[in-house]
A and B are shown apart, each in its own frame.
Chain A
Amino acid sequence: MKFKNIFVAFLVILLGWMLLTWSLELQSILLGVGISAVLSLLLCGSCTLFNEINLTPKAFAYSFWYLIVFLIELVKANIDVTRRVLSPSMPINPGIVKVETTLKSKMARLILANSITLTPGTFTIEINDDALYVHWIDVESDDVEGATKAIVSKFEKLLEVMYG
């Protein structure tokens, strides 16, 4: 478990190094590997941030798929916002609804809350146990089941595979 934390932190730091230096010379990569190893041992020796992450090929494929779904939702969100802001009558019907999630991992909940914020018309305000309180710019259903189905379920299926 401890090794997995350090390994994931190492990969993240190395990715940042590669992007910032932007060179594929052996010297630069070896220096990056050394620095990433030291930093990940120092910073993540006792952290629990990546405990629940799954390191299987299926989880990687789902992460990639998640990114695509998320980007499509982000573009849809912006078309939605543009339509609401620029139309003269301003069709909004805001409200705060409650949704429930089955995810247990902290990291998965963080990603879920961020994704809800960047998808059409919804914005996470507060989290309490399994309940998320979401500000919805155009309330379609104010009961828990209907709101959960409309807001959470499309991300939850993918996140469950990524964080078991």
Chain B
Amino acid sequence: MGETIKLIGEIFLLIGSFSLMTAAVGLLRMPDVYNRVQTGTKASTLGALMSFVGLAMMSFDHWQETNWVGRFLVLVIFILLTNPVSSHVLMRAAYAMKIPLSKLTSVDKLKEDINNKVLEEPKDE
């Protein structure tokens, strides 16, 4: 039983590492900062999440003596709550600094609404 859980944990860890690698490749390949943040956030969130779940499973044998399982669960919750927020801030700051969108971009409703005075321009604070 313990060995099986450990094996599943190792597979989770492998998937997590692969996901983190995808994030790195995405940072290199994507055409502009918005797409880079986008791929980076998603892949790194699931990558970190999978790694922690895998590590929690690998330490499951000794769950009565050590409290790694609970600590990893707390880490997972914090990553799920905070990772998207920090990326929102990065993305919004990039837009406020007027970093250009890539040529592939087909539509920009935010620009239209700023031009139509529906909302104020985001300030670079």
**Real complex partners, A and B?**
yes
- On A, residues with C-beta under 8 Å from B are 16, 18-23, 74-75, 77-78, 81-82, 84-86, 90, 92-98, 113-114, 117-118, 121, 123-126, 128, 131, 133, 135, 137, 139, 142
Tell whether, in the assembled complex, residue A96 and residue B109 are in contact, meaning their CB atoms are under 8 Å apart.
yes
Tell whether, in the assembled complex, residue A97 and residue B107 are in contact, meaning their CB atoms are under 8 Å apart.
yes
Tell whether, in the assembled complex, residue A86 and residue B46 are in contact, meaning their CB atoms are under 8 Å apart.
no
Tell whether, in the assembled complex, residue A117 and residue B19 are in contact, meaning their CB atoms are under 8 Å apart.
no
- Closest B residue to A141 by CB, please name it: B107
- Given the interface contacts A85-B26, A94-B34, does A125 sit within 8 Å of B91 by beta carbon? yes
- C-alpha gap A121/B41 in the complex (Å): 11
Residues of A within 8 A of B34 (CB): 94, 123, 135
In chain B, residues 50-107, which have Cβ atoms closer than 8 Å to a Cβ of chain A? Answer: 63, 67, 69-71, 73-74, 80-81, 84-85, 87-88, 91-92, 95, 101-102, 104-107
Tell whether, in the assembled complex, residue B22 and residue A123 are in contact, meaning their CB atoms are under 8 Å apart.
no
Q: Is the interface of A mostly helix, strand, loop or mixed?
A: mixed
User: In the complex, how many residues of chain B place their beta carbon closer than 8 angstroms to a beta carbon of chain A?
Assistant: 49
Q: Is the interface of B mostly helix, strand, loop or mixed?
A: helix
- Closest B residue to A144 by CB, please name it: B109
- Closest B residue to A19 by CB, please name it: B70
Tell whether, in the assembled complex, residue B106 and residue A93 are in contact, meaning their CB atoms are under 8 Å apart.
yes
- Given the interface contacts A21-B67, A86-B22, A137-B35, does A117 sit within 8 Å of B107 by beta carbon? no
- C-alpha gap A31/B94 in the complex (Å): 46
A-B contact sample (4 more), CB < 8 A, given A20-B71, A22-B71, A97-B109: A94-B105, A123-B41, A126-B119, A133-B113
Tell whether, in the assembled complex, residue A126 and residue B46 are in contact, meaning their CB atoms are under 8 Å apart.
no
- Closest A residue to B15 by CB, please name it: A78
- C-alpha gap A131/B110 in the complex (Å): 10
Residues of A within 8 A of B70 (CB): 18-22
Q: Shortest Cβ distance from A109 into chain B, in angstroms? A: 12
Asked if B37 is at the interface of the complex by the 8 Å CB criterion, the answer is yes
Residues of B within 8 A of A98 (CB): 109-110, 113
Tell whether, in the assembled complex, residue A123 and residue B109 are in contact, meaning their CB atoms are under 8 Å apart.
no
Residues of A within 8 A of B102 (CB): 94
Residues of B within 8 A of A126 (CB): 92, 95, 110, 119, 122
Residues of A within 8 A of B101 (CB): 94, 96
